[in-house]
A and B are shown apart, each in its own frame.
Chain A
Amino acid sequence: MSALIVLLIYVAIFVGSFFLVKLAVQSATNDFTSLKTVTFGDESAVRPNRIASVVSIVSIFVLWGAFTGSSLLPGFLHAPGPFIGDATFTYTAEADGQAADDATVTVRVFEVGTDAEEPTVEAGDGWAKNDAATIGAWRSGLIRVDKNDEFGRKEGHRIVAVNGEAIAPGGAVETEFGRVGMSQKGTLNFVPNKGWQMEPIWLPAPEAVVSRIGSIAAEGYRGSTLWEHLGYSLFRVVVGFFFGALVGIPLGYAMGLSNWFRGWFDPIVEFMRPVPPLALIPLVIIWAGIGETGKIILLFLAALWIMAIAARSGVSGVAISKVHAAYSLGASKTQIMRHVIVPNSLPEIFTGARVAMGVCWGTVVAAELVAAEQGAGMMIMVASKFQNTDIVIMGIVLIGIIGFGIDILMRMAEKALVPWKGKI
């Protein structure tokens, strides 16, 4: 239910800010692209609207804060929270041979994690006595109101109405503070209003995630520091990718340069390429265990085929006239390899390396989810078992940042080493 509300608000922000920005911001530039009249269908004329990017990011955090009751947001932006405080309702009870009598139930709804005392209530008059109970927000609780009444279940105690509305076993009555249901055996079950906010065990507030990053960075998690966890994951990726590239690139070159290599390895590479590395995890664990060796073998295999295929297509991407020209200028095979084929295949190899790095990063997290002593994936896996959702979200955020960082680094390396890419 609240997911739908969030989605509707998000769509409303998307549409609303579009019209607002369109009204408020007039394009001041007159550069070539802004003067194009045909933009629908001309991909090169579509440029990211930076205002939209900012609004997009901000609204994600605002929605996150609003629906978790974040202290970073002013209160009026919060979605309605769960009911907290003393809730009351009355019930009407009957017993064999007794007239119906009313009594009040006072329920103290408290924030989970804080101490709550049962509210003190006066017993009141009549044979049905007033009751008190405590229930945590977002939880529910059974309330045996008959226990302190003068006539218990042995005497045929039964509740016939709540707040004056008739109730029967299996039925429910909505009150101002929440829903009062009745079990098949006739016990009342009180569910305080949950509001629209998410409970922290489902989605913690942003500041909780940030403070968790701080505390785990300071104290570590499960016997290793945060940097050890992330460092292990990165180490596995770098080593696995390194060996994958070390074997895959020469293999790809050989496949691009020799009939025998092409014929020999084509079936293997073409078969292994569509096998997702994740499907290899069980086999690798059987063969190499859950230690570092197994993970590095897995990442090696994840990177190997991608790099081999990238190098192969790098060779096939060499314009034949360049090779012909080099031969006509007297170059030997070794010189053509070093001065023509390798530099010409660098753009393809970099594209492959970026893909391989992304796949390796995804694979290492998945492998750590299955079994690991340290690592980003292990962190979120263990945290999820203890319902530490803040650690899970922290882990996902860090994994995302590192993956993004890897890609940025690869792009920078590509720009420095292959400046002619896309300009031929």
Chain B
Amino acid sequence: MSGLSIENLSMRFDLPNGSSVQALQDVSLQLAEGELLSVLGPSGCGKTTLLNIVAGFLAPTDGQLVLNGHRVSGPDAERGMVFQKGALFEWMSVRDNVSFGPRMAGKREAEWGEEVDHLLEIVGLQDFKEKAIYELSGGMQQRVALARCLANHPDVILMDEPLGALDALTREKMQSLVLKLWKETGKTIILITHSVEEALLLGERLLVMAPRPGRIHKEYRLPFADLGVGQDLREVKKHPEFAERREEILGMIWDMEEEIMGRSEESA
């Protein structure tokens, strides 16, 4: 069985004061190979916790995770991660960052050199191979992070708000790049984002999560990711269904936020 299967995942943190927080409750999800899932939700809905569990950085208190037929525990090269920022290795050049995975696997440059250079070309950094990380702009750094993840050939790519720290224009360019890479490589991708537009544009499937306890609120299947490949994303946004879905989801998230506010006002 190929693909990623999340089965009845629950996560409860015990707090030092004796109470506990239910970060995730009974989350189940099937993801076929090559699907792009974007996850959206108000802060505190457990989407980052979910991603950390899938990546293997956290062990769930209940439930399990099955990837391509085997149970997942702990981080592994089969699940690559792209962080929001600050996960690049400043003491290495751009090329050394991108080739980190293959090098750690003990491969020689003859095996990865050509591909790494090709990836750097795709993300438009062929002229910055030997530059230090701190000499690059934020957008360039995220492109390095993307290339580094791809160079390691993971089965699943996990993205934790990878474009959240970028300015609007760079963000739009990066969204096109993510779509292009997704189509070209056919990877399974889970993308966490705060931006409703980004979730709609990139997500072939879209998951809206609700907080306290963190759970799946609603799931969509969307056409925009396919439309966006090879097309100006601003054209996609003009699509009538796009505006409709955006309003619907924004309304949903606003309702959740208001509910949280109301609850905390009650308790206060």
Contact = CB atoms under 8 A, between A and B. Distances in A.
Contact of B75 (A328, A335, A339): A328
A423 B134 contact: yes
Interface of A: 319, 321-322, 324-332, 335, 339-340, 343-344, 346, 418-420, 423-424
Contacts, number: 80
A330 B77 CA distance: 4
Nearest to A330: B77
Contact of A325 (B76, B81, B91, B133): B81
Contacts of B105: 330
Contact of B100 (A326, A343, A344, A419): A326
Contacts of A326: 89, 100, 104
Q: Identify the 10 closest CB pairs spanning chains A and B, nearest first.
A: A330-B77, A327-B75, A423-B134, A420-B90, A321-B87, A329-B101, A343-B91, A325-B87, A328-B81, A331-B104
A330 B76 contact: yes
B205 interface: no
A267 B56 CA distance: 33
A310 B27 CA distance: 43
B71 to A, nearest CB: 18
Contacts of B158: 328
Nearest to A329: B101
Given A319-B87, A324-B75, A328-B55, A420 B132 contact: yes
24 contacts: A319-B86, A319-B87, A321-B83, A321-B87, A322-B86, A324-B55, A324-B57, A324-B75, A324-B83, A324-B87, A325-B148, A328-B75, A329-B77, A329-B100, A329-B152, A330-B101, A330-B105, A332-B104, A335-B104, A344-B89, A344-B91, A419-B132, A423-B90, A424-B86
A322 B84 CA distance: 11
Interface of B: 55-57, 74-77, 79-81, 83-84, 86-91, 100-101, 104-105, 132-134, 148-149, 152, 154, 158
Contact of A330 (B87, B91, B134, B152): B152
A335 B106 CA distance: 11
A273 B230 CA distance: 62
Contacts of A340: 89
Nearest to B101: A329
Contacts of B55: 324, 328
B86 A321 contact: yes
A346 B75 CA distance: 26
A244 B104 CA distance: 32
Contacts of A330: 76-77, 101, 104-105, 152
Contacts of A325: 81, 83, 87-88, 148
A329 B104 contact: yes
B111 to A, nearest CB: 14
Given A326-B100, A419-B132, A423-B90, 15 more contacts: A319-B87, A321-B84, A326-B89, A326-B104, A328-B77, A328-B154, A329-B77, A329-B101, A329-B149, A330-B77, A330-B101, A330-B105, A339-B89, A344-B89, A420-B134
Contacts of B80: 328-329
Contacts of B134: 420, 423-424
Greatest chain A CB density within 10 A among B55, B80, B87, B105 is at B87
Contacts of A322: 86-89
